[in-house]
Each structure stands twice: as structure tokens, then as C-alpha cells.
Chain A
């Protein structure tokens, strides 16, 4: 009996002394929602690696407080993403929620975070409502509004004299935005358009047959994550490259390149960032990322890294006192950090105003497939939905 009481007492004292309890009150808590399971888990892994690297670069501290990152897996499903977000906000009481790869997952989780007066930093998804009508003072993005990247691609298509374009994209929030984007700037004729079921449809043979029959000057596609690798494989197997050149956004990235490099060699895409972008913060990020993980970071990783750096800039600015939400928000709005993209500032709707580049797949000096910037399409570009946003600051 005595023994048991003794053990109980010791455990109680030990519990009181554990760092977790004493530190909890004095740490910056960041919930990070991404996809770690399913075939899209590779994207989540890249994002998590970037976040871990950012924490390393910050020495594990923001304004002298420990950084505590809680990763959650949305399982590629809006309803699970929302559940995990609710848990982060209500149970873990995090100071910031970041992450979100998928527009439909972000849309499902959006209100839970912003209404609870927690800051939401999107590290990828940029659906049009959150940039326009549904914009919120607590929402920030370190990526882009979905339309912007394909808008830049539309300009590239015009420059290259493409008259007839065929479009393929998955039928969900981001897919529709991407198509809207390219249609907004492309001046030629759209001879065909297929919106495929997402994420269920992985075989594009029927659509590729239609592309061949329609004989367009070019094919524009948006297939994120594993769908991109599938698409590139099938496009190559259908031997379309000779007759219908391919222009993509978010289809070929550093995650898929090790697997499909040869198939994507020379292919063109628009992006706000590239691993070879000549910016000091980017050089450090890419070099350290490659040294630590042995592969190139993707744009998902780059945006996630920036999310943590943005949060850090705000925490430093308010000297670790996150209790004053207005001060913290103002500090976030200033975005005083060295972004991996160089030029970066927030628009009225808290979406970035930034450059967009044309990049091309090729090999680096070591023979590894990566992307290189070949042209600047937009300088300091702002999304078109900002006019619908009622925020003022």
C-alpha cells in the first residue's frame, strides 16, 4: 500500500516538473493541416519537411518562446480537414492555423478558424471566395489566388501565338478557378474543355482521345499532386507531344519530377517561384533543404516555409505577446520577412502581390530534373477578386 502511494506521489511530482506543462503557457502554438495519408501524402511530407526546416532556421524559438507545431492530416477530405481544424482551434487552442493544400478542404475549414479569432495562414490553397467576398481580417495567404498562375499562363499562350486551345482540369473549386484564370487572359479560341471527376478519375484516355480529334494548337492542364504524374504518363503514352504541345500549372513539380522527369523534360509552366530564383533567402532555403532531405523542395514546401517565416515576423514584432490580436494582425499585414520569392507584400485582401515566372523543366548540373526560370510574365501581380473584398487597413 505504502509503495503504491509513494509511486503515486512521485508521479504527481514528476508530472508537475515536466517541461510540457511549464512550457505550454509560454510557446507559440501553430496547427498545421496538410495531407499526410493517401496518395497525396507526398505533398504533405514536403510541406512538413519545409516547416521543420523553418523551425530549425529559427532555432526553435520565436521571440524567445518555444515553437510548438501540431501537424494534422486531413486525409484529402474536406470533412476530416474541418474536424482536425476544429480540434486545433477548440482543444489545442493554437495561435495560428496554417497549411491546407486543397481548396475544398480550406473552404470547409475556413469559418471554424477565422470566426474563432485565430489566424489562418493558407500555405497553398487560394480559392476565389476567400480572396473576394468571403475575405476575412484573420485570413492570410503565403501562396497565391488560384486564378493568378493560369492567368500568367494565358499571357504566355498569347505571346507564343497559340490560337486554338484545349483545356483539361479536375471538377472542383481549384480546377474551376484555374480554368477561369486562363480563360480570362487567353485571347484565342477555346476549342474544347473537359472537367474531370476529382479525385476519383485517374484515367484520362477518353479526354486525350478528344484532344487528338479536336486538333488544338496547345493543351492546357491543371492536375495537382499524383494526378499530375498520371496525366504526364498517359499524355506520353498517347504520343500527343508532337502534335499538341502541353502547357501546365501545378501539374509538374519537384515531388513528381524524380518519378516522371524524362516525360516532363522541357515542359513549360507558370509559377510564382522556382528553386533557382536568385533571392538570398531562397538560395539558403533550397540549399539547406537539399542538404537536409536530399531532394529539391517543391513550391508547396516553399510556401510552407514562408508561412512559418511570416508568423515569426509577426511574433517578433509584437515581442511574443499574442494576446493583442489587432497588433498581431497589423504585424502580419506588414509581412516584414525575407520571403523566398523576394518581392512580397499583402494586398487589401491579405493575398500576396508578387511576380509570376515562366519556368521550364530541365536538368541541373548534377543531372537531377528541376525547373528553371526562363521569363518573367507578371511583375507585382494582384488577384482580380480583391475588388470584392471589403477589408480596409
Chain B
């Protein structure tokens, strides 16, 4: 076993986990509090990346582009909530799935019309486009280190908001019993709208951070949305803490599985079949984990208080 390699893969796992957490946090806030199945969350991730690419082009600075893209997506999220989703809270989940699936199609087509089919690139400034030796002897891309740091910072911030502020108190109360806080005279409509905007902003942050690594393209949110759903199912729907831990677990399993499974399989089967089977099995690992969690603890690993019935 190569320990340096293992450490580097752990970093890679954290980096994927952070992106998943940012998406899962927004999705779980919306799902947990508003009971709205929002499949279009991945579209907000995509829009964040497109906004960032556009603003980066205008301002010639990735940092400014990112700073502008977050409020832009926040506003877009609020618009989507007010125009389309507000009417869906009272409907059952199937209607919500259909309507938000429609939104995915809408956004994909919208992006095609506005930005064209080819996709965009977000150029990185030179100081991020380099490597640092986080682990001695292993140069690691600076940008990925930045993603991990920002992710932990945002996770901390979110924890502080949810556990220490009045809005956070309402969010937690809403996750446990939304009728009750409505009955207590809280403007639940406004709270929902703000929470949705916050979720959109988190998705945008994930999208714009993924942009320079992956390309910015139509449908980029569709694939990662599925992983995000896995994360919130494992973590417990409505739980930010659960989303964080589950995202890191999924990130680690995916990365470490992809990198070490071929070697482990080679000990058991022939080299050729190991090389073919490993990528297939490693992409199944997280779904196997989800199935196990669902079987043993259907409410998720860290359900919010009051849900673990």
C-alpha cells in the first residue's frame, strides 16, 4: 500500500464530497423543510456555472465572476420559487417530480438558446492554476485545495446559521413540523422563498467551483443530482449534518474505490476481468451503501431531531 497515494486519494475524496455537500445541503433544506422534491436543483448548479463563466468573461477575473454568480443564482432561485414552485407545495410528490423535471428540460433548452450547445470554459487565474505540496512529496492542484477549504468554511457557516440564528431556528423547526411554525405566526412563505434562494446559492457555489475542473455544459447538473439524492438519503432527509457526513463518505468511497478496487480485485480474479469489472463495481459502491442504509436505517444515518420515527 502506497500511503502517499492513499492520502492524495483522501484529498480527492474530500474534494468530491465537498461539491456533493454543497448540492445536498440546498436540496435537503428544500426537501426537508418545504417537503418539495426539487429535481431542478441540478439545473441551478448548471446555471451557477454558466453565470460564473459569463461573468468571468466580462470581468476577466474568476473571483469576481464567482462573487457575481452566487447572488445571480440566488435571485434566479427566488424567481423560480415564486413563479413555478410556490404552487406545488400543497401537491403530492409525483406532481412535484413531474413539474421540476419539466424545469430541467426548460433550463437545458434555455441554456442551449442563450449560450449555444458547445459549452464554456472558466479559465483559472495563475495563482490557482498551480500545485502546492499539502502532503510532502505530492504536488496537489491548488485549486482543489481551495475547493476543500471553501467547502469546510461554508459548511461551518451553514452550521452556525442553522444552529445559532433565528432563521436557523425557524429552519430547524420547519424541518420538524412545518404546520406548527406556520400556526405560530411565522411568515412561512417568505421563509420558504429565502431557504430556496439559499439552496440555489449553494448549488451555484458547487457549480462554479466544479466549472474550471469539468467543463460548463448543458445537462452538467443531471448526473451529479443523482449522487446528491444518494447523499441525502444516506445522511437523512432534512439534516445538514447528515448531508455533510454522507457527502464526505460518498466522496471518499467513490474516489478510493475507483483507485484501489482494481488492485484488490486482482488478488481474487484474473487481471483482465479485474480491469473490466473494477470501474463497474466502483461506480456501484455508493448505491450498495445506499441500499444498506435504507435496509438497516431507513430514516438515514443522521436524521433531524423528531424525524427518527
Contact = CB atoms under 8 A, between A and B. Distances in A.
A237 B12 contact: no
A195 B275 contact: yes
B262 interface: yes
Contacts of B223: 200
Interface stretch (B71-79, B162-170, B276-284): B276-284
B117 A205 contact: no
A257 B280 CA distance: 31
A239 interface: yes
A193 B274 CA distance: 11
Contacts of B283: 197, 200-201
A206 B258 contact: yes
Contacts, number: 99
A122 to B, nearest CB: 23
Given A171-B276, A229-B215, A210 B5 contact: yes
B125 interface: no
Contacts of B8: 209, 212-213
A39 B218 contact: yes
Task: Please indicate which of the listed interface residues B112, B139, B278 has the most CB atoms of chain A within 10 Å of its own CB.
Answer: B139
Contact of A37 (B117, B121, B258, B278): B117
Given A203-B16, A203-B213, A195 B276 contact: yes
B9 A206 contact: yes
Nearest to A179: B275
A41 B258 contact: no
A194 B274 CA distance: 11
B55 interface: no
Contacts of A207: 258-259
A205 B5 contact: no
Given A41-B118, A206-B258, A210-B259, A230 B215 contact: yes
A209 B5 contact: yes
Determine the interface band of chain B, counting residues with CB < 8 A from chain A: 35 or more
Interface string B112-123: 100001110100
Contacts of B212: 233
Nearest to A44: B117
Nearest to B19: A203
A200 B5 CA distance: 24
Contacts of A210: 5, 259
Interface residues of A, number: 34
A206 B259 contact: yes
Interface in B64-113: 112
Interface in A186-211: 193-197, 200-203, 205-207, 209-210
Interface in B136-165: 138-139, 141, 143-144
Contact of B215 (A197, A209, A226): A226
A234 interface: yes
B12 A205 contact: yes
Task: Please indicate which of the listed interface residues A42, A197, A205, A236 has the most CB atoms of chain B within 10 Å of its own CB.
Answer: A205
B214 A202 contact: yes
B217 interface: yes
B263 to A, nearest CB: 9
Interface string B236-273: 00000000000000000001101100100000000000
B219 A38 contact: yes
Contact of A239 (B9, B139, B255, B262): B139
Interface of B: 2, 4-5, 8-9, 12, 15-16, 112, 117-119, 121, 124, 129-131, 138-139, 141, 143-144, 212-215, 217-219, 223, 255-256, 258-259, 262, 275-276, 278-280, 283
Closest 9 CB pairs of A and B: A213-B5, A39-B217, A41-B117, A237-B141, A206-B259, A205-B12, A209-B8, A239-B131, A202-B214
Given A39-B118, A42-B118, A237-B141, 4 more contacts: A39-B119, A39-B217, A193-B275, A212-B5
14 contacts: A37-B112, A37-B117, A38-B117, A39-B118, A41-B118, A42-B117, A195-B279, A197-B280, A200-B223, A200-B283, A201-B283, A206-B259, A230-B215, A238-B141
